[in-house]
């Protein structure tokens, strides 16, 4: 696991930071108590706030610690909105799977079939990369988030309304280096894959991915507090302020307002604990996809050699140290770091968000809160 994750909506999952304890027995802490303890520890580690949800069946419990706004010192609200970062990827993958079910494309179509010329530089060939390989991160494409100019601009957050055309982001990726592996040969997490996936959605439908997500997922599921911003970098209503702690000699930065075009279909969605859990349950229980596409969603490729993590299409399947397997993902964008864990049938879920992320990890706070999330899940 890399120690430096610049612009970590594009970071590899911090699954190795999670650790479990096993199923709770009589007299042992409940899942909610374990997650609450983790939230308090996260604040002790320096987070302004940590909020979380534990849901089993129709019963939900909420935890919170710290303050939602360092200026007003208002207590953190578990109903607050936050930026979900790379948890967005499951929404994008779902739209493409729905389009396949409608026979408007195949996941085995090449990128060049829908985006001629978009991937055609420095040895990369969109005619050899499939849409499926974009979604499971086996395309072999570099991550534009590792481009130093992009990373610095995003980290400074000095231009939250800066325009990043999707093709510009793809071009930044292609210019980094020549291919180190051919399409389908190995797993390598890259936001570039999902920016291209969003471009495919537009090529097929004529609509931006945000519009398709709105009509196909947000509205049908009644996710009233979930949005996919495309130009407005501000949050509205009740929201958790996100912060960036100084790395070298600068003051703490309120990063609540940040560039949504920097990640787009790879990481721009704003949601809440409840809405993200509702989406996750609907996704895993087949409410959004027919059986054939559901099977594709959950067909994984190995991300390493130890067999503990597999990546499907926008979601991961991983084994906690307590032995339980969960579906989920994490999201890390400027100011926010979140984890989502769910059982195969969606009956057990945990969602947690920390209100600070400064593009470097794993930090002690990330490790402590991720461990608490895993412990809590194992206690369900």
Q: List Cα–Cα distances, 304 to 77, 113, 188, in angstroms.
A: 37, 30, 10
Q: Using pLDDT thresholds of 50, 70 and 90, give the confidence band for residue 320.
A: very high
| Spatial separation of the C-alpha atoms in residues 281 and 353, rounded to whole Å | 18
Instruction: Between 5 and 222, name the one with better pLDDT.
Output: 222
| Spatial separation of the C-alpha atoms in residues 142 and 129, rounded to whole Å | 13
Please give the pLDDT value at position 13: 40
pLDDT, average across residues 244-265: 87
Please give the pLDDT value at position 250: 59
Going from the N-terminus, what domains does the chain have, and what CATH number goes with each? Answer: 8-378 (3.40.710.10)
Number of other residues whose CB lies within 10 A of the CB of residue 92: 32
| Spatial separation of the C-alpha atoms in residues 165 and 298, rounded to whole Å | 31
Please give the pLDDT value at position 246: 78
pLDDT surpasses 60 at 321: yes
pLDDT surpasses 60 at 349: yes
Q: Using pLDDT thresholds of 50, 70 and 90, give the confidence band for residue 247.
A: low
pLDDT surpasses 50 at 333: yes
Share of the chain above pLDDT 90, in %: 89
Please give the pLDDT value at position 7: 39
Report the mean per-residue pLDDT for the chain: 92
Share of the chain above pLDDT 70, in %: 92
- Count Cβ neighbours within 10 Å for each residue of 319-335 and write b for 16 or more, e otherwise: bbebebebbbbbbbbbb
| Spatial separation of the C-alpha atoms in residues 254 and 201, rounded to whole Å | 33
- Asked whether 109 and 130 are in contact (CB, 8 A), the reply is yes
pLDDT surpasses 70 at 2: no
Please give the pLDDT value at position 12: 40
SS3 assignment for 45-104? CCCCEEEEEEEECCEEEEEEEEECCCCCCCECCCCCEEECHHHHHHHHHHHHHHHHHCCC
Question: Among residues 5, 8, 2, which one has the least CA distance to residue 337?
Answer: 8
- Asked whether 247 and 361 are in contact (CB, 8 A), the reply is no
| Spatial separation of the C-alpha atoms in residues 196 and 130, rounded to whole Å | 11
Q: Using pLDDT thresholds of 50, 70 and 90, give the confidence band for residue 252.
A: confident
- Tokens representing 56 are 């089993």
pLDDT surpasses 70 at 190: yes
pLDDT, average across residues 123-146: 98
Residues whose CB falls within 8 Å of the CB of residue 106, separated by 6 or more in sequence, listed in order: 100, 131
Q: Using pLDDT thresholds of 50, 70 and 90, give the confidence band for residue 281.
A: very high
Please give the pLDDT value at position 78: 98
- Asked whether 288 and 217 are in contact (CB, 8 A), the reply is yes
- Tokens representing 103 are 């026979």
Instruction: Between 3 and 247, name the one with better pLDDT.
Output: 247
pLDDT, average across residues 87-95: 98
pLDDT surpasses 60 at 140: yes
Q: Using pLDDT thresholds of 50, 70 and 90, give the confidence band for residue 275.
A: very high
Please give the pLDDT value at position 249: 55
- Count Cβ neighbours within 10 Å for each residue of 98-131 and write b for 16 or more, e otherwise: bbbbeeebebeebbbbbbeebbeeeebbbebbbb
| Reported pTM | 0.94
| Spatial separation of the C-alpha atoms in residues 123 and 120, rounded to whole Å | 7
Choosing from 3, 86, 106, 258, which is the catalytic residue?
86
Please give the pLDDT value at position 1: 26
86 is catalytic: yes
Instruction: Between 315 and 249, name the one with better pLDDT.
Output: 315
What confidence tens digit (pLDDT) does each residue in 28-61 have? 899 999 999 999 999 999 999 999 999 999 999 9
Please give the pLDDT value at position 344: 96
Please give the pLDDT value at position 323: 96
Number of other residues whose CB lies within 10 A of the CB of residue 202: 18
């Amino acid at each position: 696991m890399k120690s430096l994750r610049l612009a970590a909506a594009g970071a590899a999952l911090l699954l190795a930071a999670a650790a479990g304890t096993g199923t709770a027995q009589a007299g042992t802490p409940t899942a909610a108590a374990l997650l609450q303890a983790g939230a308090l520890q996260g604040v002790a580690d320096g987070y302004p706030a940590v909020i979380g949800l534990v849901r089993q069946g129709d019963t939900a419990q909420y935890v919170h610690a710290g303050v939602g706004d360092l200026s007003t010192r208002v207590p953190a609200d578990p109903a607050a909105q936050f930026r979900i970062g790379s948890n967005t990827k499951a929404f994008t993958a779902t739209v493409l799977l729905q389009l396949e079910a409608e026979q408007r494309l195949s996941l085995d179509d090449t990128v060049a079939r829908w985006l001629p010329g978009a991937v055609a530089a420095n040895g990369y060939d969109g005619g050899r990369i499939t849409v499926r390989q974009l979604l499971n991160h086996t395309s072999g494409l570099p991550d534009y988030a590792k481009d130093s100019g992009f990373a610095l601009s995003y980290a400074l957050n000095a231009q939250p309304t800066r325009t990043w055309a999707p093709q510009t982001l793809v071009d930044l990726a292609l210019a980094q280096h020549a291919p180190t592996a051919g399409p389908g040969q190995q797993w390598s997490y890259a936001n570039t894959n999902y920016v291209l996936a969003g471009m495919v959605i537009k090529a097929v439908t004529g609509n931006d991915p945000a519009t398709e997500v709105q009509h196909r997922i947000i509205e049908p599921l009644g996710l009233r507090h979930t949005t996919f911003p495309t130009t407005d970098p501000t949050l509205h209503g009740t929201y958790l302020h996100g912060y960036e702690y100084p790395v070298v000699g600068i003051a703490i930065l309120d990063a609540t307002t940040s560039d949504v075009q920097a990640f787009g279909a790879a990481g721009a969605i704003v949601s809440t604990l409840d809405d993200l859990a509702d989406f996750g349950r609907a996704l895993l229980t087949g409410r959004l996809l027919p059986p054939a596409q559901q099977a594709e969603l959950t067909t994984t490729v190995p991300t390493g050699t130890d067999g503990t993590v597999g990546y499907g299409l926008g979601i991961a399947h991983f084994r906690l140290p307590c032995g339980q397997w969960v579906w989920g993902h994490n999201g890390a964008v400027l100011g926010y770091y979140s984890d989502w864990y769910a059982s195969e049938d969606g009956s057990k879920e945990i969602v947690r968000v920390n209100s600070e992320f400064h593009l470097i990890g794993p930090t002690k706070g990330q490790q402590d809160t991720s461990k608490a999330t895993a412990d809590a899940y194992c206690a369900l």
